[in-house]
Structure 1
């Protein structure tokens, strides 16, 4: 029984490690999405002005909202320190996408918010579950990927931003 539990724990840790590494070192795919005002944005160009954090989320996802609300508190500091932009990509579908602007405006997020109601960008990025957060360098290469959210994960993202700034 102990061996079975140890095997399960090892498998779980290996799977979590693989999930965080998947998608790394790939280029940002080009998908046409709209922002909340209906302006079309090509996702391949998101990192043109510097590093970008891309966070896939939904209004029905509590961990997603906790992550983005937590980052909201430190985002101005991150912008000043690293020149980073955060793009929150909503995967809300046709039924729930109208609640996105209400939630975003209610929280006064300063993020770029894109709508992916058909999950085109989500599929292109290999996102299975939300929240899923990526860090993309100014060349459009994905340098970090993290799935799910637990308090303190924003510190891991901050460390990745620091690592990225040292490489540039």
Structure 2
């Protein structure tokens, strides 16, 4: 049984890496200073991240565009996803350490894939997550961001431009290194 699970996790990791490798090579990143208004909106590096409005767990709307001026990690995750569960303590620690440095994490829960919505709040409480968690009820934002692997995290600079896209779980050091390259 354990060998079967390990094999499945290994294959899943290969699929995630293959997708990451494929999309990262096709991503655009010119490195030129360009005004955000001059950029095409899209989901590739160097493009302006698509705006969205999703409700948090209390029903309050959260607009991505309201976070302009801050560095933002947009993390797509689900409670049933083992790599997402492993990643969450790293996200929380990073949020605690970097929120004073104008870095925000927005956790976009893949609510349309959850078995029961009440599991989301239970998970957030158990993990003691304090960063904003929003719910993608119908999967429209997940589809808009072309999320094909869970978790997926987009790193946006203060202008809302995508600077990195990570498919699969990332840890504190990866977040720290990626954000430090923006400063």
Instruction: Please give the residue correspondences for 1:11-22 in structure 2 after superposition, counting only pairs within 5 Å.
Output: 15-20=19-24, 22=27
CA distance in 2, matches of 1:41, 1:73: 22
SS of aligned partner of 2:169: coil
1:146–1:158 Cα change, 3 Å? same
Aligned partner of 2:103 in structure 1 is 84
Instruction: Please give the residue correspondences for 1:17-32 in structure 2 after superposition, counting only pairs within 5 Å.
Output: 17-20=21-24, 22=27, 23-32=44-53
Pick one of 114, 125, 131 that aligns with 2:145: 125
SS of aligned partner of 2:85: helix
CA distance in 2, matches of 1:33, 1:92: 11
* Cα-to-partner distance string for 1:9-32 (whole Å, 9 max, x where unaligned): xxx977533334642112121223
Q: Unaligned 5+ residue runs, structure 2? A: 1-15, 28-43
RMSD: 2.2
Aligned partner of 1:61 in structure 2 is 81
Provide the TM-score with structure 1 as the length reference: 0.79
Pairing 1:147–2:151 present: no
Q: Is the 8 A contact 2:106 2:132 kept in 1?
A: yes
Aligned partner of 1:164 in structure 2 is 182
Aligned partner of 1:33 in structure 2 is 54
Shift in Å, 1:138: 1.2
1:67–1:13 Cα change, 3 Å? closer
Provide the TM-score with structure 2 as the length reference: 0.73
Q: Is the 8 A contact 1:50 1:137 kept in 2?
A: yes
Matched positions, count: 150
Provide runs of 4+ in structure 1 moved above 4 Å: 12-15
1:127–1:83 Cα change, 3 Å? same
CA distance in 2, matches of 1:107, 1:30: 27
